[in-house]
């Protein structure tokens, strides 16, 4: 007995685009700057990061050395810039590696379901049942320390997370009418996946990967701090933090700035990821 009259038109506010949100804009701007610093490190660093200066051992910040100097008189700012390059490289590389393998696995599992799903997701769930950092440490225990091993270990931690995210968004997309229609038309599943599922299901994984990339910097630093990541003479932010620990009270600047660099990066990736979420993962906007 109800009356068929259209409802009140709900005028939705569409805040499209990453740069429409303030957080996303701020994150994006910081990220561009940080990546530029990492890429153009040799041009930006004011000093040779390895130049030892006996007259400046543990010297505090001044105009020429705004972040001060370390136990060998090396310029901390220049060392942070070069170490940042290594750390960011590990963070980006590990996440991309996990993305490259995790996304196809999750998508394949979610699209086909059944035993394919079980076969792929069971081992992945097993990995998630272990503390992530413990897993990374165990892998390094086997292979031996190094920044490339740290990269691989972080990728192993991240792969299951990304695979899970893609799998669940694939499940949603695969049940949509247009996918079922394509299947009914007899379109090969390979084509359906690349043409329909991939573009529509990958958004949440991109968002997740962006945020994980920031956290990878924290994990890399932790591993290197323990001596399990980058090995001298390669320096990463974690190596710097480990080296400066003995001089903490005399020269706190050695410890403060690498940590600040990590914190800013994590936040920038987080904000940028939130901005992406508004565009790529509409369902996930409310956290």
Partner 1 sequence: MSDAILTLEHVDVGFATDDGTVSAVSDVSLSVASGEIFGLVGESGCGKTTLAMATMGLLPASATVSGSVRFQGRELVGLAPEDLRRLRGDRISMVFQDPMTSLDPAFSIGEQIAETITAHRNVQRGQARDRALALLADVGIPEPERRYGDAPHRLSGGMRQRVVIATALANEPALMLADEPTTALDVTIQSQILDLLRDLRQRLRTTIVLITHDLGVIAQLCDRVGVMYAGQLVEIATVAEIFRAPRHPYTQALLAALPTQHQEPGSLRVIPGRVPNLIDPPPGCRFASRCPYVMDECTIVPPLAHESADHLIACWLSEATRAAAHPAGAATGGAA
Partner 2 sequence: MSPRGRFIVRRLLLAIPVILVMSVFVFLMIHLVPGDPVQTMLGFRATPRNVATVREQLGLDRPLLAQYITWASGLLHGNFGQDFISHAPVSTLLAQRLPVTIELTVLSMTLAVLVGVPLGVRAAARPGAVRHLSEGLVIAGIAIADFWLGIMLVLLFAGIWQVLPPSGYVPLLKDPIQNLRYLALPVVALAFGETAYILRTTRGAMDEVLDTQYISFLRAKGIAERRIVYRHALRNAAAPIVTVIGIQFGVLLGGAIVIESLFALPGVGRLIVTSIQQRNYVVVQGGVLVVAALFILVTLLTDVLVGWLDPRIEEGAAA
DSSP 9: P
How far apart, in whole angstroms, are the C-alpha atoms of residue 133 and residue 31? 25
Q: Determine, following the binding rule CB under 8 A, whether residue 185 of this chain makes contact with partner 1.
A: no
How far apart, in whole angstroms, are the C-alpha atoms of residue 65 and residue 158? 37
Residues 6+ apart with CB under 8 A from 275: 18, 19, 20, 21, 23, 24, 25, 27, 28
Q: Determine, following the binding rule CB under 8 A, whether residue 54 of this chain makes contact with partner 1.
A: no
Smallest separation, CB 69 to partner 2 (Å): 18
Question: Of 57, 45, 97, 79, which is closest to residue 213 (Cα–Cα)?
Answer: 97
Stretch in the footprint of partner 1 (CB under 8 A) among 9-17, 62-70, 198-206, 240-248: 9-17
Smallest separation, CB 188 to partner 2 (Å): 32
Q: Determine, following the binding rule CB under 8 A, whether residue 1 of this chain makes contact with partner 1.
A: yes
Tokens 């040799």 correspond to: 42
Smallest separation, CB 271 to partner 2 (Å): 9
The footprint of partner 2 (CB under 8 A) covers: 122-123, 126, 129-134, 136-138, 140-145, 218, 221-222, 225-228, 241, 245, 248-249, 252, 255-256, 258-259, 262-264, 266-267, 270, 286-287
Q: Determine, following the binding rule CB under 8 A, whether residue 177 of this chain makes contact with partner 1.
A: no
Phi, psi of 73 (to 5 degrees): 80, 15
166 contacts 203 by C-beta, under 8 angstroms: no
Site size for partner 1, by CB under 8 A?
11
Q: Determine, following the binding rule CB under 8 A, whether residue 286 of this chain makes contact with partner 1.
A: no
Stretch in the footprint of partner 1 (CB under 8 A) among 1-9, 199-207, 213-221, 243-251: 1-9
255 binds, among partner 1, partner 2, none (CB under 5 to 8 A by kind): partner 2
Stretch in the footprint of partner 1 (CB under 8 A) among 8-16, 73-81, 83-91, 161-169: 8-16
CB hemisphere CA count around 279 (13 angstroms): 14
DSSP letter for each residue of 182-237: HHHTT--HHHHIIIIIHHHHSHHHHHHHHHHHHHHHHHHHHHHHTTSSS-TTS--H
Q: Determine, following the binding rule CB under 8 A, whether residue 13 of this chain makes contact with partner 1.
A: yes
Q: Which residues bind partner 1 (CB under 8 A)?
A: 1-9, 11, 13
């Amino acid at each position: 007995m109800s009356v068929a009259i259209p409802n009140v038109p709900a005028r939705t506010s569409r805040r499209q685009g990453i740069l429409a949100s303030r957080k996303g804009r701020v994150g994006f701007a910081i990220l561009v700057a940080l990546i530029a610093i990492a890429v153009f490190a040799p041009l930006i660093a004011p000093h040779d990061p390895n130049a030892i200066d006996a007259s400046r051992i543990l010297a505090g910040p001044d105009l020429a050395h705004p972040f001060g100097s370390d136990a060998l008189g090396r310029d901390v700012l220049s060392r942070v810039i070069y170490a940042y390059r290594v750390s960011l490289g590990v963070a980006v590389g590990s996440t991309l590696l996990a993305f490259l393998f995790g996304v196809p696995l999750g998508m394949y599992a979610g699209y086909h379901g059944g035993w394919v799903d079980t076969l792929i997701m069971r081992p992945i769930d097993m990995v998630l049942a272990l503390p992530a950092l413990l897993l990374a440490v165990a892998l390094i225990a086997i292979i031996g320390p190094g920044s490339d091993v740290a990269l691989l270990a972080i990728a192993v931690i991240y792969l299951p997370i990304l695979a899970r995210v893609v799998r669940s968004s694939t499940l949603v997309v695969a049940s949509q009418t247009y996918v079922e229609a394509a299947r009914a038309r007899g379109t090969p599943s390979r084509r359906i996946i690349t043409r329909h599922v991939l573009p529509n299901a990958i958004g949440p994984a991109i968002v997740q990967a962006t945020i994980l990339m920031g956290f990878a910097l924290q994990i890399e630093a932790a591993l290197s701090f323990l001596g399990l990541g980058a090995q001298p003479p390669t320096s990463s932010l974690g190596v710097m933090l480990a080296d400066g620990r003995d001089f903490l009270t005399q020269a706190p600047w050695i410890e403060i700035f690498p940590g600040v660099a990590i914190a800013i990066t994590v936040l920038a990736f987080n904000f940028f990821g939130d901005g992406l979420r508004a565009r790529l993962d509409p369902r996930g906007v409310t956290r």
